[in-house]
């Protein structure tokens, strides 16, 4: 094993260790709850949650109001189903079956380490081991990558599978074709909307066949045979959950994609990319200037034109997949996670361009190599600092509130409780097993009546809100519902670093009569 391979292995191991040591490990808001709870469903052999009790409720869209973030009503009334693709939850479910419920949180750190290692291997196969190790360093320190490394979601997983598929495609051979196809299957299962990338990778194998390479037809067949199952599985799951192989849990194609979205996204993604990755990543665009045709051995250039076309085409399709996608907040840079699968390709090419450009300088090889190394390490250092400043390492502390509130409810509130919440609607279900009503999906005039009806049915309703949710809750319900005013003390409160309050609607009546309502303090729960 070369020294560069050892460095890359240490980087991959360190990435995995960082994710395990500083990762959230909490079932928090929409994404975390959606993926982890779906993994729990798969581990128990189902993809639906039975909620037949909604049939007896009178308010409009009661089935929707009892679907927590990350879920939607099923085709058959009385059930809810996850909206997220099954790829990442499927891997999490395997870990849960093997090592218990908490093992789901190991998946993203482990795949993060795999992604860093595969970036090294991709760089080594495309250009050189030096390019590979520097690209791996830049991926590992990327603010987008480091932020997603801490969350139990699908972005790092999708990036790892696609990078594996690209690396094996560049290397070629029978095992490469089979492995690349398997990587594509896992990637499509993880993020189906990037299915056009299958064509990009597949065309590279077909291109080898067109060039007349030995055994190329067999390689194409092996790749296709391993890639197709993932696509078929996605179609089958969509048919079962949403009624059509072309449907998804996120909504209709017409809602998600529109030509009008291009301009807002062109304002967002390029700006966010330069702010978090520096202009260094743009050097990838210069890769064709430093490439050679693979049969041209008269030049000292290491980049092959075919590989450059593959990696740039791959990155371009990732970008185009989100150019016409529903825009998000103008300053919510975290949605760069959508583009994360393109990072390894772009950073490998940017590093290769840096190394090739340094060779144009008249100096000793060691000096030129040192210059390229200094540039890349400086960029990596800036990225690492930006990652910390943007809160990548604070996820565990911040997300602990979901665990604390959920476990408090598990211990304190009666088993027949129904908790009205939004951000905590999923985590309360996960940690306490109590039913939750998602107030974002409850019509404005129905809060008081919904609470009254739940009481008549024998349930005990409560309300759980973060401090930042309270203004919007009052605005939504306060005018038409007395409970929407939140004008009585909470029964319990979690104070630092983010305040969360739990209200008992029955306390309002006592408070109006002049009784004193004592607020309990929710203490941090011990990790299990």
pLDDT tens-digit profile of 419-430?
Answer: 999 999 999 999
Whole-number percent of the chain with pLDDT over 70: 98
In a domain, 259, yes or no: yes
Are 327 and 407 members of one domain? no
In a domain, 496, yes or no: yes
Q: Which of 147, 170, 162 is nearest to 388 (CA)?
A: 147
In a domain, 384, yes or no: yes
Are 370 and 473 members of one domain? no
Mean pLDDT calculated for residue range 357-384: 89
Question: CA-to-CA distance for 482 and 277, rounded, in angstroms?
Answer: 49
The Cβ of residue 380 has, within 10 Å, a number of other Cβ atoms equal to 20
Query: What is the domain range of residue 428?
Result: 396-521
Question: CA-to-CA distance for 470 and 480, rounded, in angstroms?
Answer: 16
In a domain, 35, yes or no: no
Mean pLDDT calculated for residue range 233-249: 92
> 328 pLDDT band (50/70/90 cuts)?
confident
- Share the mean pLDDT of the chain: 93
Report the C-alpha dihedral over residues 205, 206, 212, 215, rounded to 10 degrees: 50
Asked if residue 249 has pLDDT above 50, the reply is: yes
Q: Nearest 5 degrees, angle CA 12-CA 16-CA 20? A: 165
Are 351 and 471 members of one domain? no
In a domain, 39, yes or no: no
Are 299 and 442 members of one domain? no
* Stated pTM of the model: 0.94
* CA–CA distances in Å: residue 443 to residues 62, 160, 300, 476: 10, 41, 68, 9
Range with the lowest mean pLDDT among 190-194, 214-218, 330-334, 467-471? 330-334
Domain boundary among 354, 375, 390: 390
Are 233 and 129 members of one domain? yes
DSSP E strand boundaries for 37-165: 49-50, 71-73, 79-82
Are 363 and 413 members of one domain? no
Are 381 and 401 members of one domain? no
Asked if residue 444 has pLDDT above 90, the reply is: yes
pLDDT in tens, 58-106: 999 999 999 999 999 999 999 999 999 999 999 999 999 999 999 999 9
* CA–CA distances in Å: residue 335 to residues 111, 143, 148, 240, 434: 20, 12, 10, 29, 31
Question: CA-to-CA distance for 296 and 304, rounded, in angstroms?
Answer: 9
Length of the chain: 528
Are 120 and 263 members of one domain? yes
Q: Which of 272, 299, 270, 296 is nearest to 285 (CA)?
A: 270
Report the DSSP beta bridge partners of residue 291: 303
Domain boundary among 361, 390, 419: 390
Domain boundary among 330, 357, 390: 390
Are 374 and 407 members of one domain? no
> 255 pLDDT band (50/70/90 cuts)?
confident
Are 342 and 224 members of one domain? yes
> 528 pLDDT band (50/70/90 cuts)?
very low
Instruction: Report how many domains make up the chain.
Output: 2
In a domain, 527, yes or no: no
Are 107 and 235 members of one domain? yes
Q: How far is CA 206 from the centre of its chain?
A: 31
Range with the lowest mean pLDDT among 22-36, 294-308, 350-364, 401-415? 294-308
In a domain, 134, yes or no: yes
Of residues 151 and 251, the one with the higher pLDDT is: 151
pLDDT, residue 261, reads 94
Q: Which of 128, 119, 164, 168 is nearest to 290 (CA)?
A: 128
pLDDT, residue 148, reads 96
Are 340 and 407 members of one domain? no
Mean pLDDT calculated for residue range 381-409: 94
pLDDT in tens, 146-177: 999 999 999 999 999 999 999 999 999 999 99
Q: How far is CA 48 from the centre of its chain?
A: 22
> 297 pLDDT band (50/70/90 cuts)?
low
Question: CA-to-CA distance for 461 and 63, rounded, in angstroms?
Answer: 17
Mean pLDDT calculated for residue range 252-276: 91
Do 170 and 205 form a contact (C-beta atoms < 8 A)? no
Question: CA-to-CA distance for 29 and 402, rounded, in angstroms?
Answer: 8
520: tokens are 């309990």
In a domain, 353, yes or no: yes
């Amino acid at each position: 094993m070369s020294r560069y391979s050892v460095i890359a292995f240490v980087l991959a191991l360190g990435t995995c260790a960082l994710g395990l040591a500083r990762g959230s490990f909490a079932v928090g808001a929409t994404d975390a709850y959606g993926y982890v709870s779906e993994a729990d469903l798969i581990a128990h052999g189902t993809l639906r949650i039975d909620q037949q009790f909604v049939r007896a409720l009178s308010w409009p869209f009661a089935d929707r109001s009892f679907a927590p973030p990350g879920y939607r009503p099923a085709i058959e009334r009385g059930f809810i189903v996850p909206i997220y693709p099954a790829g990442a939850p499927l891997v999490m479910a395997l870990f849960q079956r093997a090592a218990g419920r908490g093992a789901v949180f190991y998946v993203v750190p482990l795949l993060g380490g795999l992604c860093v290692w595969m970036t090294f291997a991709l760089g080594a196969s495309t250009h050189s081991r030096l390019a590979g190790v520097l690209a791996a360093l830049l991926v590992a320190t990327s603010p987008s990558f480091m932020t997603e490394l801490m969350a139990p979601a699908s972005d790092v997983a999708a990036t790892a599978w696609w990078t594996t598929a690209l690396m094996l495609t560049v290397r070629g051979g029978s095992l490469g074709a089979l492995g690349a196809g398997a990587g594509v299957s896992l990637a499509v299962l993880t993020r189906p909307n990037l299915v056009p990338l299958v064509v990009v990778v597949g065309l590279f194998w077909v291109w080898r066949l067109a060039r007349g390479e030995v055994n190329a037809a067999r390689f194409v067949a092996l790749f296709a045979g391993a890639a197709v199952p993932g696509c078929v599985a996605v179609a089958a799951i969509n048919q079962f959950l949403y009624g059509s192989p072309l449907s998804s849990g996120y909504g209709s194609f017409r809602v998600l994609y529109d030509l009008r979205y291009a301009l807002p996204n062109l304002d967002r993604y390029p700006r966010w990319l330069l702010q978090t990755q520096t202009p260094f990543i743009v050097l990838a665009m210069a890769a064709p200037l430093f490439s050679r045709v693979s049969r041209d051995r008269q030049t000292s250039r290491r980049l092959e034109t075919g590989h450059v076309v593959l990696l740039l085409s791959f990155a371009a399709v990732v970008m185009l997949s989100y150019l016409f996608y529903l825009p998000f907040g103008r300053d919510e840079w975290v949605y760069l996670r959508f583009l994360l699968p393109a990072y390894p390709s772009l950073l490998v090419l940017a590093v290769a361009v840096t190394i090739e450009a340094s060779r144009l300088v008249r100096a000793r090889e060691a000096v030129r190599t040192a210059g390229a190394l200094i540039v890349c390490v400086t960029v990596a250092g800036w990225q690492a600092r930006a990652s910390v400043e943007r809160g990548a390492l604070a996820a565990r502390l911040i997300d602990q509130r979901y665990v604390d509130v959920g476990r408090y409810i598990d211990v304190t509130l009666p088993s027949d409780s129904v908790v009205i919440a939004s951000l905590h609607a999923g985590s309360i279900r996960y940690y306490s097993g109590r039913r939750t009503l998602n107030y974002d999906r409850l019509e404005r005039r129905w809060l008081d009546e919904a609470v009254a009806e739940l009481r008549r049915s024998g349930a005990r309703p409560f309300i759980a809100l973060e401090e930042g949710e309270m203004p919007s809750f009052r605005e939504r319900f306060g005018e038409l519902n007395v409970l929407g005013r939140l004008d009585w003390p909470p029964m319990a409160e979690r104070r630092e670093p983010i305040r969360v309050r739990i209200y008992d609607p029955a306390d309002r009546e006592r408070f109006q009569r002049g009784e004193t309502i004592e607020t309990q303090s929710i203490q941090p729960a011990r990790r299990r």
